[in-house]
Amino acid sequence: MPDHPLVPRPAEMSTAAPDGLVLTAATRIDAHHEARGTEAWLRTELGAATGFPLAPGDGQTAQIRLSVDPAAGLGAEGYRLIVDAAGALVVGHDAAGVFYGAQTLRQLLPAAAYRRAPAVGPVSWTLPSVHITDRPRFGWRGCMLDVGRHFLPKYDLLRFIDLLALHKLNVLHLHLTEDQGWRVEIKRYPRLTEVGAWRHESQVGAARPPVFDGRPHGGFYTQDDIREIVAYAAARHITVVPEIDIPGHSQAAIAAYPELGEGGPLDVGREWGVIENVLNVTDATLEFYRNVFDELLELFPSTYIHVGGDECPKTQWRASATAQARIREEGLGDEDGLQSWFIRHFDAYLAERGRRLVGWDEILEGGLASGATVMSWRGTEGGIAAAKAGHDVVMCPTATSYLDYRQSTSPDEPIPVGTLLTLEDVYAAEPVPEELAAAGAERVLGAQVNVWTEHMDSPRRVDYMVFPRLSAFAEVAWSPAGRDVAEFLPRLEGHLARLDALGVEYRPLDGPLPWQRRPGVAGRD
């Protein structure tokens, strides 16, 4: 294993002297005003693991110093970390840079630095002498989490945010609404969560005819929960981008308010897949969603607001007098044009409020809204087309980004998804397609992985599916281009010791442990 198994790999690192800085009960931290948040975070985290108070010091007495210097030429979110026997100095370009420098500092310590109480027996709390200059390759380093299919309780979501921060990711894309569940309290429409957040049972596995677990499932975040989640993430330099998926994937909302749909009353979805029941296109439905977004914008300060737009079957619209009349009156041509019109309505709504719309790549069909950012998931083609047309894009193609796909061909994998996506596949991803190398590369804001939870019915299962593939993705999004998996894997082993110390139930590199297996049809934990 390498001496300093840092993940993600920093842009530049050199080791200086053989000695380093030994942390003791007398070690003090000094932080500039803008670095105080990171100071408090470091004290809490390292304090728990070491038992040292890490008391505040000043320029004379502190061994660990955190400062911000936008003139140091480090670049947005960049930092320099210098450790020698006398002290450790983190200089960030901005507050985020200091935080990332402190994350690296923590990784330089033994993995016991990730425990919640001091280890029994002696640990050498020595920071090795290093000189690191680091900055991210991309400004959008994201993870989408689907809390619609299976609700992730708030406590587990906060823990998940810590794990994203450990990997220097900075966007949590929260997929809040689905056919199978609505997960955010909207005060004006209480039935969205009274009715839409609960289902009687869930499909398990992918068997046909479907098999159900006979067990109710549900949950939602109150507005106070959301404010807490957003603030907790912000303190870790993570922006929460909310997604309200429209006009497809809306059955839970229609179950709560049948007037939003095209047909009769519906239950909250119990089966997975692309569902025919979609929103209607009446003025009242548009107004309903504007009112939803009014509350959402109060809760989420993110510039980007995700409106979904994926997998909206057009069957009901083809048969709907209202939809057909709208197509004629607005001169939209066909149902793709109608979907584009629907999305453009919310593009204008968000732009008027200083926000920016982001949607899945289906929003290209029928014409892209003028201010839209595209998430390219069905491949890279959507992203390439959007970037060439002057739109920003986030790359998350299924072939390298879908963490709901199985991790090996072993029948022991606990997931009934046939497509294979190995750790190595994730590591090999290149967010900037060759087609954009000559022009358009600057439109690639970055990349993200997507965690769809049809078959992840507990936080433990999320751990298993997400890690360590997310650790590989962290290098795709953060580290300089040009990666070598043979160099990465030994470093990853050192990193897994950190995940062990944290209690993350990741997939071991050589396959699932017996209790993690769930062959055939996925059952209950």
Question: Which residue's CB is nearer to ligand ACM, number 109 or number 385?
Answer: 385
Nearest approach, Cβ of residue 251 and ligand ACM (Å): 14
CA 185 – CA 175 distance, rounded (Å):
14
Nearest approach, Cβ of residue 307 and ligand ACM (Å): 12
Nearest approach, Cβ of residue 147 and ligand ACM (Å): 15
CA 251 – CA 178 distance, rounded (Å):
7
Contact 358, 371 (CB under 8 A): no
Q: Classify 298 as helix, strand or coil.
A: helix
Output the CA angle 521-522-525, nearest 5 degrees: 145
Question: Which residue's CB is nearer to ligand ACM, number 310 or number 425?
Answer: 310
Torsions phi, psi for 300 (to 5 deg): -115, 110
Contact 253, 288 (CB under 8 A): no
Torsions phi, psi for 217 (to 5 deg): -140, 145
Nearest approach, Cβ of residue 217 and ligand ACM (Å): 20
End-to-end CA distance of the chain: 34
CA 166 – CA 160 distance, rounded (Å):
10
Nearest approach, Cβ of residue 431 and ligand ACM (Å): 17
Nearest approach, Cβ of residue 362 and ligand ACM (Å): 8
Nearest approach, Cβ of residue 310 and ligand ACM (Å): 4
Closest CA to 381 of 402, 361, 360: 361
Question: Which residue's CB is nearer to ligand ACM, number 97 or number 382?
Answer: 382
Nearest approach, Cβ of residue 395 and ligand ACM (Å): 13
Question: Which residue's CB is nearer to ligand ACM, number 311 or number 493?
Answer: 311
* 76: its two tokens: 């947005």
Question: Which residue's CB is nearer to ligand ACM, number 84 or number 311?
Answer: 311
Question: Which residue's CB is nearer to ligand ACM, number 31 or number 279?
Answer: 279
Nearest approach, Cβ of residue 244 and ligand ACM (Å): 14
Question: Which residue's CB is nearer to ligand ACM, number 160 or number 360?
Answer: 360
**Torsion sign (Cα): 298, 301, 303, 305:** negative
Question: Which residue's CB is nearer to ligand ACM, number 450 or number 516?
Answer: 450
Place of tokens 């842009």: 11
Question: Which residue's CB is nearer to ligand ACM, number 310 or number 500?
Answer: 310
Give the largest CA-CA distance in the chain: 77
DSSP letter for each residue of 453-491: -TT--SHHHHHHHHTTHHHHHHHHHHSPS---HHHHHHH
* 415: its two tokens: 């997931």
Question: Which residue's CB is nearer to ligand ACM, number 162 or number 310?
Answer: 310
Nearest approach, Cβ of residue 85 and ligand ACM (Å): 51
Closest CA to 174 of 203, 195, 151: 151
Place of tokens 């530049």: 12
Contact 109, 118 (CB under 8 A): no
Residue of minimal Cβ distance to ligand ACM: 310
* 411: its two tokens: 């029948």
Which residues make up the interface to ligand ACM (CB under 6 A)?
310-311, 360, 377
Question: Which residue's CB is nearer to ligand ACM, number 97 or number 366?
Answer: 366
CA 362 – CA 360 distance, rounded (Å):
6
CA 309 – CA 326 distance, rounded (Å):
18
Nearest approach, Cβ of residue 377 and ligand ACM (Å): 5
Contact 254, 279 (CB under 8 A): yes
